[in-house]
Amino acid sequence: MIAEIIAVGTELLLGQIVNTNAQFLSQELASLGLDVYHHTVVGDNRERLIQVFQQAWERAQIVILTGGLGPTTDDLTREGIAAALGRPLRFRDDVWQEIKGHMHRGSSPITENNRRQAMVPDGAIVFSNSRGTAPGLAIREADRLAVLLPGPPREMRPMFREQVRPLLLEMIGHGVILSRSLRVVGIGESALEEQIADLIAAQSNPTIALYASLGELQIRLTAKAENEKNAWDMIKPIEEAIRERIGTAIYGVDDDTLPGVLGKLLQERGFQLTVAESCTGGLLGSMITSVPGSSAYFGAGFITYSNESKQQMLGVPAAILAKHGAVSAACARAMAQGALKASGAQVSIAITGIAGPDGGTPQKPVGTVYVAVLSPVGEVVQKLALRGERAAVRERSAKTAINMARLLLLGEL
DSSP assignment of 79-133: HHHHHHTT--EEE-HHHHHHHHHHHHHSSPPP-GGGGGGGEEETT-EEE--TTSS
* 247 pLDDT more than 90: yes
**Which of helix, strand or coil describes residue 127?**
strand
Bridge partners, residue 217, by sequence? 184, 212
* 14 pLDDT more than 80: yes
* 107 pLDDT more than 70: no
Most confident of the following: 50-59, 170-179, 198-207 = 50-59
pLDDT at 106: 55
pLDDT at 105: 61
pLDDT at 266: 98
Q: How far is the first Cα of the chain from the last one, in angstroms, to the nearest whole number?
A: 49
In this structure, the strands spanning 378-385 and 176-184 are unpaired
pLDDT at 74: 86
Structural domain boundaries in the chain: 2-172, 176-253, 258-410
**Mind listing the pLDDT tens digit for each residue in 127-160?**
999 888 889 999 999 899 999 999 999 999 999 9
- Which residues contact residue 270 at a Cβ distance below 8 angstroms, ignoring those fewer than 6 apart? none
Q: What is the rounded radius of gyration, in angstroms, for the C-alpha atoms of the chain?
A: 28
DSSP 109: P
Q: Supply the CATH classification number for the domain 176-253.
A: 3.30.70.2860
Element (H, E) at 40: strand 35-42
- Which residues contact residue 60 at a Cβ distance below 8 angstroms, ignoring those fewer than 6 apart? 2, 3, 4, 37, 38, 144
User: How does residue 104 score in pLDDT terms, banded at 50, 70 and 90?
Assistant: low
User: What is the domain class of 258-410 according to CATH?
Assistant: alpha beta
Mean per-residue pLDDT over the chain, rounded: 94
Examine domains 2-172 and 176-253 and report if their fold is the same: no
* 54 pLDDT more than 80: yes
**Mind listing the pLDDT tens digit for each residue in 351-377?**
999 999 999 999 999 999 999 999 999
pLDDT at 66: 98
pLDDT at 33: 79
**Which of helix, strand or coil describes residue 36?**
strand
Q: Supply the CATH classification number for the domain 2-172.
A: 3.40.980.10
How far apart CA 112 and CA 373 sit, in angstroms, is 67
pTM for the structure as a whole: 0.74
How far apart CA 370 and CA 279 sit, in angstroms, is 10
pLDDT at 285: 98
* 108 pLDDT more than 70: no
Rounded mean pLDDT, 250-258 = 96
